[in-house]
Amino acid sequence: MTDLERLAELIFPNITETIEDLEKRYPERNLPEGAIVDRFAPSPTGFLHSGSLFTAMIQWHLALKSKGVFMLRLEDTDTKREVEGSGERLLKELAKFDIVPTEGYFGDHEEGSYGPYVQSKRSSIYNTVIKEMIKRGDAYPAFESEEELNELRKYQEVHKLNPGYYGEFAKSSFLTPAQAIEKIEAGEPYIIRFRSKGSNKNKIHFHDLIKGDVEVTENEQHIVILKSDGLPTYHFAHLCDDHFMRTTHVLRGEEWLSSLPIHIELFTRLGFKLPNYGHLPVIMKNDEGKRRKLSKRLDKEAAVSFFLESGYPKSAILEYLFTLANSNFEEWRLENMDADIRDFTFTFEKFNKDGALFDMDKINDISKERLCRLTKSEFTDMALAYAKEYDSNLLELINRDRAYFESIVNIEREKENPRKDYTKFSDVYEFVKFFYSDKYDELFAQGFEYNESKTKEDIKKVLSKHLESLGLELDEQEWFNNMKEAMHSIGYAVNKKELRDNPDEFIGTIGDASEIIRITLCGRKSSPNLYYVEKILGKDEIERRFNKIIK
């Protein structure tokens, strides 16, 4: 046995497999030409970030369209930051957008033959690879204490040297295997580092699927691959996982671009085929003219749960994220208004390369547009699903009488230019509640505010007159003419011009009169078309409301 072999045995006495065994256990996948195998690899550290949804959505769509594989791998090696239950929560939140892995971690179970899909369960794989790297001299135990590393950092700072553990500063790399064995046997704590052979004087040219051709500096850092807790670092886990899971496309946030040289060296040194890399833009926000990263701490829209709790339809969010991802999506959408979003094909060249700006106004617009195009029954189904989970007030109203609810949300819907009353389902309850007598009475108890210039007498007169000539049996145009006439007879001009020409003859315009009616019926100045409101309420309820005010 060579000294290197003795060292490897000493560190991993229980590892009996080899890299070759792993290659056999996880063979190349047998997929059609062009099939993309990619993965979403979240850390279970809390909620699903909107940026992660963006990434997952792209990975899911690319895999789906190419008849490939979309894996979910849980990257739980940072035990300090782990939040109990967040793996399941991520899955659940993704599923709300129909993003479901085809393979991998599914909370209570796993699917697929390339697992385990949770990193903390993959120790034997990592250790197998490291054991062989030690035998080859490509990895070694390093014994520096935290203090020594801090001193090194300070020294490099003072002397304006590149920071890190490399070259002459990689002290443990100069130990002979026999010396390392001695230290381990003496009980000295250690971690495992990669022995880099690179130099930061060299450049590497690389084609990134999204960023295009990039030039990066070769890695020279002897990075940590196994931490003192026995778990791998991201870099090393990425190497083993994506190689043995046969990932073809690593699509990840651009914050990883700077570590790409490490990954290139790791893959090359092990003789593993380099996957395709695509570094996706970070989601940015315009904060009073300044661009910054969407922040978990500052921005409610950074959490996917915000969109779910607010009741944005999933189609609107996906639609928006597609717009952010590919510059030609909007054009495609205009030409294919009713097509399923899954019919669109992403093109790597058309990906937005730089920080994608997250724009709530645009999301709201898309969402309004989506909601107004639904039929009343589709709308009600979705409202019901939302209400069941998030809005008990709304649920109670829908359950009282579904047909009545549908008639409300159907006001000026199902036509060419439908009304855009709702941005999200959390708007619905507040918007519709005045249609319900008991809710109306609650509003009434809080008091209604009429225009100050209107006297009690004016209000009473308008309401009494309108009640006398409701005309609910008329069509919309006739109803309006009828109201105009009635209001004219008690001193309301048909339009502003008439009022301007004869200011002494009129109290106001028909607009002022209908505002009085509107506030009386709805408790507020803006409402859907009054004609439909009245038809839904019916004569008795209108009369009841008018009399309450008149009294």
536-539, long-range: CB < 8 A, 24+ apart: 536/404, 536/407, 536/408, 536/411, 536/435, 537/435, 538/472, 539/470, 539/472
Shortest gap between Cβ of 356 and ligand GLU (angstroms)? Answer: 17
Q: Is 43 in the site for ligand GLU (CB under 6 A)?
A: yes
The least distance separating ligand GLU from the CB of residue 393, rounded to whole angstroms, comes to 37
CA 423 to chain centre: 18
CB of 387 to ligand GLU, least distance (A): 33
DSSP states of 8-19:
HHHH-TT----H
Within 274-303, the residues that bind ligand GLU by CB under 6 A are none
Tokens 């926000």 belong to 285
Give the 3-state secondary structure percentages of the chain, helix then strand then coil, rounded to 5.
50, 15, 35
The amino acid occupying position 374 is L
CA distance linking residue 285 with residue 55, whole number of Å: 17
Q: Does 75 bind ligand GLU (CB under 6 A)?
A: yes
Q: Which residues pair with 293 in a beta bridge?
A: 284
Among the residue ranges 161-169, 189-197, 247-255, 352-360, the one whose residues contact ligand GLU (CB under 6 A): 247-255
**Which amino acid is residue 412, in one-letter code?**
E
Q: Kindly list the distances between the CA atom of residue 207 and the CA atoms of 211, 212, 220, 356, in Å, as whole numbers in the listed order.
A: 8, 5, 21, 21
Candidate list 235, 238, 368, 461; residue touching ligand GLU; CB under 6 A:
238
Closer CB to ligand GLU, 250 or 530, in the complex: 250
Q: Which is nearer to ligand GLU, 251 or 513 (CB)?
A: 251
Of 208 and 391, nearer to ligand GLU (C-beta) is 208
Shortest Å distance, C-beta 317 to ligand GLU: 20
Where helices occur in 96-176 by DSSP H, the ranges are: 123-136, 146-158
CB 448 within 8 A of CB 523: yes
Among 7, 19, 41, 462, binds ligand GLU (CB under 6 A): 41
| 252 in contact with ligand GLU (CB under 6 A) | yes
Closer residue to ligand GLU (CB): 263 or 545: 263
Q: In the bound complex, what is the minimum distance in angstroms from residue 52's beta carbon to ligand GLU?
A: 7
Stretch that binds ligand GLU, among 38-46, 154-162, 407-415, 535-543 (CB under 6 A): 38-46
Taking the least distance from each CB to ligand GLU, the nearer of 40 and 492 is 40
Q: Which stretch binds ligand GLU (CB under 6 A): 91-99, 212-220, 246-254, 508-516?
A: 246-254
Let me know how many helices (H) and strands (E) the chain has, helices first: 23, 16
Site for ligand GLU in 452-511 (CB under 6 A): none
Any contact of residue 42 with ligand GLU (CB under 6 A)? yes
Give min distance, CB of 90 to ligand GLU, in A. 10
- Judged by CB under 6 A, the stretch of 186-194, 249-257, 337-345, 395-403 that binds ligand GLU is 249-257
As a three-state string, the secondary structure of 380-429 is: HHHHHHHHHHHCHHHHHHHHHCHHHHHHHHCCCCCCCCCCCCCCCHHHHH
Residues near ligand GLU (CB under 6 A) are 41-43, 75, 238, 250, 252-253
